[in-house]
Structure 1
């Protein structure tokens, strides 16, 4: 170990973070995550806000571990202060396997990425358009999404756990790697079962952590049954399935498939290769669009003017011909 080098909470495995969440979430006055947050320096107002979070333990750990002094040693002192020796004991094997900061050199990161690419995570080594996140009670609807999106005309590649996971790996780590490295989007089936499922909430948080500012559309929520939308998903526009009738459902599937990259044949959104629509280009500002509209209007006026002139020429030529024929007949007489 390098002199003075200490293990960081940031470098602990996902399984260790999940264990902290499991052990500290139950309400134990003076011994739960609220007490830990207080030790970490969170204000009373911050803790009240975090109570509405789907997983407040993950939230406080993620925020605290960004600090320079967020060491494993300090975390253990906090756990000791709130009298949770059971958590310390359960974390010991994870702490032993946590690497030192010096092991996170750039060369090591490249090697880890290479090993991840070679690691067998799913039955087929392909990139999926979406990962289906659901509570086990909603498996029938998850299957309906799977079969509909993979069938024509959509033909999307969908990942679902019971069909695509390769057995033998740690389920938590495997899920995290698949969502991060193998799936472009995550479809979340929202229902009362979802809000009470820790595994479903964990999968959503992984996807959201990949784009915390919502710049990338990583999560696509579907309201399957009436429930309270989780706090972390409220900023995201969701698809409503529960209130649809038979006439409206075809539009639902088309919208869902479109969010995964499906483009209907003959759609005006399809562009020729190398062609850039002004509406989709950086120059497609309101001012530029106004210029385009003005140009179109000018072209239309020019066409109308040309058509009018053509009719007038035809009319004059017709009368000239009649006059010529009349003059010719008089000469013949």
Structure 2
């Protein structure tokens, strides 16, 4: 009799035992059919309690063994599909052992051999499918390059370390060690059809050929292939002294021109250095607010053409900071020399000893008679000055008494 019982137990274990190679597979391998098969058995709420661990033998006991709290179990119950919700929360919880082996162990603790036997084929099928998919992904992987082909040793992530401001213009590619500092950056809309392109051609003829200025015209001078706004900003900030703004209807529609003007204006917001030189190309235009406070060169009036190009060239050529660019030599003030007593006395004697014949005789070297006569004259003049002063004071005092 004992032998029959042992055989039956071995048969039950064989039916309910999960293959060892499937025990480490994640619960994510279970597809809807296997999940639904397990839920058909576990969703039925049972009142029986397992005598070994004191757990309910339904999905609630399974949730307790896994480690979910009472609040989480109540939330699963409200979904209407508690077992499927339990499996989902279980496989997404990093603090739980979410493997098929752990699921099988929990069902064995609840003594749910019916669930183990009925769902074993579904679980093993999904586990095998999951393993096959992983193997297929490994075999289907194709490297971008064969390992036998040599490749460059330069890391692919060093592109952002390249100094893209080193080569901006055609001249930079020919002579990178000697970059050109331009007199002005010409801001205009190259897509315009009309006066804009013709005016830029006249700028080249009048300002470059006639006045010897160097203009930076992006469509002519800038290299292709670079970041446009970065190149414009670097040229305006570091390579161009001023900006000539060609204002027209097409200019007001250009986003590139709007960026260039606002960036240049931010470098000198108070217009003290006169970096911006607007040129009005067409009349009846609304001047942008950012340029209304700047003096404009008017190209619309024919009677001003005689002075226009000379005025524009002088505005470009003028120094940005006169105190730094103009040579200023301070005037030297001679030091004051204090005269000694002897030299002062000598000059005084020289001036006092002038005669009628315009001869100068030092008083210290003159005869005693000349000294005596000179002192007498000085005393007479002093006494006369004293007399006049006393007389004036007495007159003023008497007039004040009469007034009172």
With the length of structure 2 as denominator, give the TM-score of the two structures: 0.36
With the length of structure 1 as denominator, give the TM-score of the two structures: 0.43
- Larger RCO (CA under 8 A, 6+ residues apart): 1
The structure having more radius of gyration, on CA atoms, is 2
